[in-house]
Amino acid sequence: MTLDPFRNPGIPLDLERVAAIRVNRSAVERRAASLLGRRSVKQAWQAAWLLRAITCIDLTTLGGDDTPGNVRRLCAKARRPVRADLLEALGAAHLGIRVGAVCVYHAYVAEAADALAGSGIPVAAVSTGFPAGLSPMAERIREIQASVVAGAAEIDVVITRAHVLTGHWQALYDEVRAFREACGAAHLKVILATGELGTLGNVAKASWVAMMAGADFIKTSTGKEAVNATLPVGLVMARQIRAYQEETGFAVGFKPAGGIRKAKQCLDWLILMKEELGDGWLHSERFRFGASGLLSDIERQLEHAATGYYSADQRHPMV
């Protein structure tokens, strides 16, 4: 088996390692708060970082009212996320800026794959009874398989939160392991739904078990929980990713999702990645934003960078 550097084969479940995890919430929050005061990205550097952020977006639509039409519009935006004249003005026309992936429900995987054909943009499918993840296991497995067949290159699964809340790490491990097997060649992104895990210690432990079970990415949220991606949660997950890499050699990706709507926020997340995990986590193979509204704010900021004038939504093509 050749090792894909962007895949994590997982390791046997190590309950002692899980039990050894300690997370101090106040200290984590202090680091998350002070981090943003310690780093600042301005002017041309900010424009470059925002362009990089675009390439890390999982451009997402997960509405009950999705139709083939709006999914196709999303895919078109994914190919051309920024006005060509702006890219030209920023000297970025040759960089081939496009989003990291398009993320849809299984029902629109085929539609999206078709719309993105030839672009190189992968389709990600939310799966396994998203967002609660409580449909029968066999159905969840079949859903993954069906999405892969339909053309999804990435599968975003949700875990059974009860396994975390009751400390059934073996059950969680087995669940994620089964998801991974069902994915085949598709990359597995495991949503921990951190807003429903109660404590940062649970977030850290769930991160470890998911990575041991073979998650290629760990992801904060479905976007449907009351609390979505927060920097303290992201910091804890990033630290587990770092430790897992140090101890196993496998580099797992990270995806914050939900509530990331502003360009400033995405700079914060990129800074967090750079500081805690390094430059290896500043590209789409190891870092994604799950977001739908973020892109339009980035577009406005890029126009400001290009022209010096504050911009407006209507000046940028909508999804």
Is the bond preceding residue 122 a cis peptide, omega within 30 degrees?
no
Q: Would you call 77 a catalytic residue per the annotation?
A: no
| Shortest Å distance, C-beta 57 to another protein | 15
Closest CA to 48 of 94, 92, 85, 84: 92
> Least CB distance from residue 32 to another protein, whole Å?
10
Q: How far is the CB of 66 from another protein (least distance, A)?
A: 32
**Cα separation, 56 vs 280, whole angstroms:** 13
List C-alpha distances in Å: 50 to 29, 44, 82, 192: 25, 10, 11, 26
Residue 42 known to be catalytic: no
By beta-carbon proximity to another protein, the closer residue of 45 and 135 is: 45
Q: Cα–Cα distance between 41 and 91 in angstroms, integer? A: 18
Q: Which two tokens stand for residue 141?
A: 């497995």
- The residue annotated as part of the active site, out of 77, 189, 205, 219, is 219
Name the residue nearer to another protein (CB basis): 25 or 149: 25
Sheet with 289-291, edge to edge strand ranges:
253-255, 217-219, 187-191, 154-158, 123-126, 101-105, 57-60, 289-291
Closest distance between another protein and the C-beta of residue 220, in Å? 18
Catalytic site residue from 77, 189, 205, 255: 255
Concerning whether 216 is annotated as a catalytic residue, the answer is: no
Please give the Cα distance from 244 to 139 (Å, whole number). Answer: 30
In the bound state with another protein, the residue whose beta carbon lies nearer, of 92 and 155, is 92
Select which of 156, 216, 268, 297 is catalytic.
156
Q: Which is nearer to another protein, 37 or 120 (CB)?
A: 37
Residue 284 carries which DSSP code?
T
Beta carbon of residue 194, minimum distance to another protein (angstroms, whole number): 14
Helix axes 25-38, 231-248, angle to 10 degrees: 100
Residues forming contacts to another protein in the complex (CB under 8 A) are: 22-31, 34, 37-45, 47-49, 51-52, 89-92, 94-95, 199-201, 239, 243, 270, 274-275, 279, 282
- Measured from the CB atom, is 148 or 266 closer to another protein? 266
**C-alpha closest to that of 48 among 242, 246, 298, 252:** 298
Tokens of 69: 């039409």
Q: Which residues are catalytic?
A: 156, 219, 255
